[in-house]
A and B are shown apart, each in its own frame.
Chain A
Amino acid sequence: MNATHSPLRGLYWKETRQVLPLVWMLLGVSTFLMVAWSGFSFTSQALQLASEYIPLLLPGLYAAGVGAILVGQEKETRTLLWFGSLPISPFKIVLSKLVVGLGGLLSMWLCCLLLAAVTSKTAPQYGARLFFEGETWSLSLLFWFVHSLYLMFCGFYTSWRLKNAFNSLLLLLPLATIPTVIVQMLYLSLHGVRGGLISISDSAGITIVVTLLCTLLFAVLGWRAAIKSMSPAEPEGTSGSIAEWLSAWRPPAIGQNSDAPFRYSLSSLVWQSIHHNRLALGSLTLLIVVGLVALAYLVTNTPQRVEKDFFAALMSGLTFAGMLGMSWMGVYAFSGDGSATRLRFLADRGVSPTLVWLSRHLIGFSAISFAILLYGLWIRDSNQKYFGVYEMPIPSVAMMACLAWIVYGVSQWTSQSFRILAASAFIAPILSGLAIGWLGFAAFQMDSPFWLLLLCGTLPLVNTWWSMQRYMDDSTRWPMWLASAVGVSLFLLLPIGLLAVEVLSVSTMSNKTRRTLLSQANATASTLPPAQSMMQTRPDEFRHYPMDSLTGEQATKISEQKTLSPENHLLLGDNSDLNIPLAVDSGILSTAIDIATYLRMQLESAPEDEASVIALGEWIETMTSMARRLRLSSRWVDQEAADEIEIWLTYTLSLESLRTIRDRDFSQAAVEMLVDQKSRSDARRRAVLASWIRWRSDDTEQKQTLGQLHGEFLQWLPPIKQIYMKPRVNDAIVAAAIEMIDVAETGGSTESQRRRLHELTVGPTIAFADGPYSDRLRVGADGVTSMEQTLSYPANQWYAKWESDAKELSSLRSDASARSESPTPISTN
């Protein structure tokens, strides 16, 4: 302090310096959370909504921690006593702490609003709509502001009132809920328990008033406690009773040394852990036990249908408190007697760091284990009672142990790393939640194996054990920070690393193939025909009938008018223009094949009937032009649709019973198309490459599938794995398909390509021999196909037996056209 300045300025300067670490820490954590959240939350809308509350952490946590920093910490370091001895009035000291606290709170609110504004501008989906949208935003903001004010005064009160900083934080927990509890009790007393609870948004107005009243109350109580605490202490033993007077003369008891040391160092250290702060330890144990029993109750009962159910809300609150207790138990390990300054005493005297580390944790392990055992007993008992009634999945004992392992581990690491209790006590639960969220994300979305998650969950404990020597020595901190940085990196990178290894191990196309195919694809792109038209059905032209109640005659007349000719059912654009590509609609394609099959059946029953010949002929002609136009399409799936039509045409024209129609023009046109293997292969190659290029350049969120209508592959994998594997798998599919065309054109067997396609597109539970690429489901002479499968699996009917049957139709061609066609080798394997 500079004597030329007012001592008060120095006081304010000191208090501000004291608060700054908390401010920086909270700013850092909030920013980290916002960044982490934007990485996570695209998987869930609930997570996106939750991100609105992140900026609120700044003023909220500051308000809860500032009292402990400005008062509690000074009590622990005993600097407050020294302050009391200075010639400054207690009033000024207390006021300076309060003013700095309030100033800090206002700055945190400014930071909060700034953070919310920035994020709502830069990433609206994660931004804080809470503040800037909706009609009730101002009320909501006021509510949070008043509550933070209340929390700060409570914090000051508990810090002034209690000697131990940890206890004052524990007491803050129930105090924080007082305004809400008062409002709920008021509501319950008016509406009874059955009326349920009132939501915070419905009761914001009244809650603000109640909170303000409570703030006033705790401001007064806090002030009194502060003044009392800063005033000279009353001398002990001034009651003047005889017993008190006599006790000074009583000789010390012999042989009753209750603090007699134990045989094992461990038990001594444990004794110290317990007796250092029995109140905190007892409260935390109680919180954990009650929390886990409440969770056991929640998961073994039928989910409450009433959202605002009183009991369910109470149990959920207790469960949350239990989790908080578990986290604080971790913080407790390295606070108070576990803090670096206290442990230095042991370090100076050569006590093993491992032993100290173990003794700091054993009591926490014991309390948590006890609570988990109770949880296990409860769910076992309840399960027998309620089985068949409940629908809730029940976390197992091992699951609870894993959760506790992570929460406790991360919290004790936080406590060792952030040595300010007021900061670590609030940051630890957040980091624990984040750790669980990350590991859960890794399990559910990235398919990380359990052993890896367990390893990650153990890292924080290993980290503190490794750092224990330095921590006890209270030596240079950078090696500890380095170790922590390595630990955190491993925690985050191990699941990512394994995923990366798995993704990279998926076969894909070689770089050389990629370069070749890309240049081919780019060359093809310029030759692609104009935009395709979609298949459509012809709208019903009989709408003028009163369709709600037809007479039999009307119905018959409609049916008679609606003949089965193609133009009555299909709209294919300008059908005569064979240069316009067509895009398939599976329903319309199916109807076309169904009608044509019916007419084929009609003709088979009366082969000489000219009307039937013409009716079927129209469809053969239409389907031939459909197939030709589908082949022109740059969508891969349209090639499968063309296959489906060509399979039907091949079978129809191969039928001996229909040989009379083979010479007709429509049949010849169809045969012309069917025997042209080279065009078919060229069309396939062009469509595969065009689809591939399109998929690669499509950066929209609703990215189409590779072939645009094929099924979604990799569905058997978790989402994140799918996202990263898809580009490689799609490349591999393209490579296999192009290779299949090349191999088939030189007459080779396509089995190895089909096996590869099976591995890439069919789930792991189906064997190749049973799958869509096997001979079992590829079409042979009988033409039995499943259109759904043909359109779902890329290239699944390519070069199957039907194609060699199609080629054999060349014998049906009239001489002129037969001469112009040169045979092309083709594989049917």
Chain B
Amino acid sequence: MSSIIHQAQPSDSRGTRTREISYLILVLVPPTVLTALLTFGILGEWFAERQVQQRVAALLRDGEPIGNASMTASFDQSTTKATSHGWKEIIAAADGVGAKFGEVDLHLDDVDGVVPPGEEWIAAPFVNAYASESTVIVDAIERLADSDDKVWMPLLFDGYQTRLPEIQDARTVTRLLIREFRDAYHVDDHRRAIRALKLLQRTAQAFDWDSGLIVELVHVAIQSVQRGMIRESLRHDFWTADDLSELREILSKKDDLDNDWRKMVSAERATILAFLRIAESGNLESGSELDGAVVAPFGLSPVHQFYLLDTYAKYQNAAGGDEFEVSLRLERLSDAHQKRGADSTLSLTSIPFANAGAHALNYVMPAWQAVAYALVRRETERRWVLTAVAIKQFKLQEQRWPENLKELTLVGLSPADWHVTPTETFGYRIEQDNQSVKLWSIDIAKQQLDGQLIPRTPYSESQPEYGSLDSVEVQIR
């Protein structure tokens, strides 16, 4: 065959041999290297698959949810059906009473005020009518208040398609209790006012499911509303010594940050695992669509699956210590994530995208830093309002304002309560007329978490144009 191509005898000269080899190298080496690289990539995927299996097995051992089935099991175990009907009825009735008042409140000025007794309030007749119609519902909530359990609801866990209508509906109950409190405060009904605050807490607790970020943030929002109302109520000389003790009790319960954080990240991870069909179904055949963009039509490759599990594990492990520590740790984590690069997330053989894991996370991963800020704010606000209540208690007990926050030990407050961080306390000052004091907190939305956190003078003086003064400064009378 080759006689024609080899018209002459092969030359033995070294030059010809070298040239022949160099031609063969030229055409054979690049495809060979590419093939070797792809083989290396496939081996990497195989290795990553083993790692993913190990991780998932470890999660299962630790009782962590890894998909829809385990989310359902965990939800069913951590909730009780005993109060389901009661709460379902309360939610429906709260909507029902809302139908009577329609959207009237949207057109009524100052409907959200905390107005002291005797003071004119344009929305008073409306709020009073609303509260009076809602009495039967508030009574029903109170009947369920004995139990600390979380309530079971007919949830269908389906990855990111999981609907949580009850969580949205719980806001109607919250609004009803807020109206109840405002009416009670205005008509000088201390018992009802305290009861409304307690029931708000109970409502938040009943729906404090370990079902992910949304639920946690709604929980934080309800707590924030409750604490905000207590804070506002201190602007007027309303509460008795007994009331203040009850308020102290309401505010004394610290949230379990570690637990909340871990469970929240865990639920979010289970949701994405279910969505991308990684752990439970073991079925990677179908395209997973994120916001209309197909990231992995043939399923997420093991390298990316592992990257995803690894990233969630890092965020989950950021728990431990107080909110500030978690927040700082998260800040460092996301910084490192950006600076170090994420070469391990690039897959050689993932079809079609080398960075499908990171790209998928861009769509679905919550802004953990922002969530951490919300949790920092929750705990700081609790201590801040607690300190404010204690100052008022001190005034009633000692007939004077405390000279400084350290004096609050006289009313049983511990130093940790008036500290923002181990080294810094809330800002405190007695006003010149001696009729009121000012207590101010950290503005978490605007400040870095290092350096001086609390300004020396109140925000109202240092920054007169301050927008959300109420959330960082309170004047107690």
User: Is B286 part of the binding interface, using a Cβ–Cβ cutoff of 8 Å?
Assistant: yes
Q: Which residue in chain A gives the minimum CB-CB distance to B129?
A: A556
Q: Flag A387-398 by CB within 8 Å of B: 1 or 0 each.
A: 111010111111
User: Is A384 part of the binding interface, using a Cβ–Cβ cutoff of 8 Å?
Assistant: yes
Interface residues of A in 591-608 (CB under 8 A from B): 591, 593-599, 601-602, 605
User: Is B476 part of the binding interface, using a Cβ–Cβ cutoff of 8 Å?
Assistant: no
User: Is B95 part of the binding interface, using a Cβ–Cβ cutoff of 8 Å?
Assistant: yes
- Contact call A393/B355, Cβ cutoff below 8 A: yes
Chain A residues, CB < 8 A from B58: none
- Contact call B353/A395, Cβ cutoff below 8 A: yes
Interface residues of A in 733-791 (CB under 8 A from B): 763-767, 770-772, 776-777, 782-786, 788-789
- Contact call B346/A380, Cβ cutoff below 8 A: yes
- Contact call B359/A265, Cβ cutoff below 8 A: no
- Contact call B156/A766, Cβ cutoff below 8 A: yes
In angstroms, Cα B89 to Cα A746, docked, is 35
Contact check: which of B27, B88, B285, B341 meets A363 at CB < 8 Å? B27
Of the listed residues B69, B108, B156, the one surrounded by the most CB atoms of chain A closer than 10 A to its CB is B156
Q: Which residue in chain B gives the minimum CB-CB distance to A553?
A: B125
Given contacts A383-B346, A396-B353, A552-B122, whether A601 and B295 have CB atoms under 8 Å apart is: no
- Contact call B38/A397, Cβ cutoff below 8 A: yes
Contact check: which of B89, B109, B359 meets A393 at CB < 8 Å? B359
Chain B residues, CB < 8 A from A82: none
- Contact call B97/A598, Cβ cutoff below 8 A: yes
- Contact call A789/B154, Cβ cutoff below 8 A: yes
Interface residues of B in 108-160 (CB under 8 A from A): 108-109, 121-126, 129-130, 136-137, 139-140, 153-159
- Contact call A784/B154, Cβ cutoff below 8 A: yes
- Contact call A394/B346, Cβ cutoff below 8 A: yes
User: Closest CB-CB distance, B22 to chain A, in whole Å?
Assistant: 10
User: Is B10 part of the binding interface, using a Cβ–Cβ cutoff of 8 Å?
Assistant: yes
- Contact call A765/B281, Cβ cutoff below 8 A: yes
User: Is A204 part of the binding interface, using a Cβ–Cβ cutoff of 8 Å?
Assistant: no
Q: Which of B28-36, B400-408, B459-467 contacts A (4 or more CB under 8 A)?
A: B28-36
Q: Flag B338-349 by CB within 8 Å of A: 1 or 0 each.
A: 100111011111
In angstroms, Cα B16 to Cα A113, docked, is 59
Chain A residues, CB < 8 A from B99: 564, 569, 591, 594-595
In angstroms, Cα B29 to Cα A370, docked, is 9
- Contact call B5/A269, Cβ cutoff below 8 A: yes
- Contact call A395/B354, Cβ cutoff below 8 A: yes
Given contacts A261-B6, A398-B349, A555-B126, whether A783 and B85 have CB atoms under 8 Å apart is: yes
In angstroms, Cα B31 to Cα A270, docked, is 15
User: Is A475 part of the binding interface, using a Cβ–Cβ cutoff of 8 Å?
Assistant: no
A: interface residue count bin: 35 or more
In angstroms, Cα B128 to Cα A560, docked, is 12
User: Is A268 part of the binding interface, using a Cβ–Cβ cutoff of 8 Å?
Assistant: yes
Interface residues of B in 340-385 (CB under 8 A from A): 341-343, 345-356, 358-359, 362
User: Is A447 part of the binding interface, using a Cβ–Cβ cutoff of 8 Å?
Assistant: yes
User: Is B102 part of the binding interface, using a Cβ–Cβ cutoff of 8 Å?
Assistant: yes
- Contact call A540/B102, Cβ cutoff below 8 A: yes
Chain B residues, CB < 8 A from A590: 95
Contact check: which of B84, B280, B285 meets A449 at CB < 8 Å? B285
- Contact call B351/A398, Cβ cutoff below 8 A: yes
- Contact call A266/B84, Cβ cutoff below 8 A: no
User: Is A512 part of the binding interface, using a Cβ–Cβ cutoff of 8 Å?
Assistant: no
Write 19 A-B pairs (CB below 8 A) sorted by A numbering.
A260-B11, A261-B11, A263-B20, A351-B4, A351-B5, A379-B346, A383-B345, A387-B337, A396-B347, A396-B351, A398-B351, A401-B38, A550-B107, A555-B123, A563-B100, A766-B158, A782-B84, A784-B84, A784-B88
For the complex with contacts A370-B30, A771-B156, 19 further pairs of A-B residues with Cβ separation under 8 Å are A261-B6, A262-B20, A264-B24, A346-B4, A351-B5, A362-B28, A372-B34, A393-B359, A394-B353, A395-B352, A395-B354, A398-B348, A449-B298, A555-B125, A556-B125, A598-B93, A782-B85, A786-B165, A789-B154
Give the 5 A-B CB pairs with smallest separation, nearest first.
Answer: A598-B96, A396-B354, A384-B341, A369-B30, A349-B4
